[in-house]
Amino acid sequence: MARFAVIGLGRFGQKLAIALAMSGAEVIAIDKNRETVELIADQVSHAVRLDSTDEEALKSQGIDKVDVAIIGIGQGTGRGFESAILTVVNLRQMGVKHIYARAEDLIAGEVFSKIGATEVIYPEIESAQRWAFKLIAPQIGEKIDFAPGYSLARIKAPPSFDGKTVMDLQLRQKYNVNLVLVKRADNDERIKEQDGKIINVPMPQTIIYQDDILMIVGSDPDLAKLPQQ
């Protein structure tokens, strides 16, 4: 199991550290605030109060040996941004291979990338984008982003799809998306006429019924145009 260091225990850092620990990972949680550290101590492998801009202090807790380090230091007030920058630099010099830095805006993210962060996390921006998509396209149950602007989405077949074949629907021609899998609705008796509940290679003659679960690939704007009814 990978070893994680979560540095900066604000709302994002606390929730991330606890979620990783609940998944069985070894988590070292770090913050400058004693009360914050004590609050999370029983929920992670190890919690310690230290200044992450001090490289020797980090090494004393074995941070140079973790597989992944996540910097969640708040950057809105005081010297938070400067501390986050120095922490990334320290981790890079210590040889930590995977360094994730939480950024509050795109400019901060650019800085973190240039000084050695292997990936930048934008919790506020990503959350806003997810909610915007959910509000615009409520027919999308969930989606997995696999490239910027492109996703694998799970949708429930609307009434307008009922009884039509894949060829009739013309998803690629009308919406510029591709159907990759069909899961029949559990309560639909018509599945007896099919080869099974899962159709992992939908053919042009495959019939789609209302409430079937469809896995569809496409750009986010194209997915949002799929019908709701």
φ, ψ at 193 (rounded to 5°): -85, -5
Q: What pLDDT score was predicted for residue 71?
A: 96
- pLDDT of 78 reads 62
State residue 143's pLDDT score: 75
Q: Residue 191's pLDDT is what?
A: 58
pLDDT score for 57: 94
Domain-ending residue, one of 93, 123, 153: 123
Task: Quote the number of domains for the chain.
Answer: 2
Q: Residue 64 has what pLDDT?
A: 93
Angle between helices 80-94 and 106-115 (to 10 degrees): 30
Domain assignment present for residue 13? The answer is yes
Final residue of a structural domain among 98, 123, 148: 123
Show which of 123, 155, 188 is a domain's final residue. 123
Q: Which residues span the domain enclosing 75?
A: 3-123
Residues 179 and 154 in one domain: yes
Cα separation of the two ends of the chain: 45
Regarding whether 139 and 119 lie in a shared domain, the answer is: no
Residues 193 and 157 placed together within one structural domain of the fold: yes
Helix-, strand-, coil-residue percentages of the chain, each rounded to 5? 40, 25, 35
**145 and 33 within one domain:** no
Same domain, 104 and 148: no
β-bridge pairing 150-156 and 140-147: antiparallel
pLDDT at 121: 92
Low-confidence ranges of the chain (pLDDT < 50): none
Q: What is the pLDDT of residue 102?
A: 93
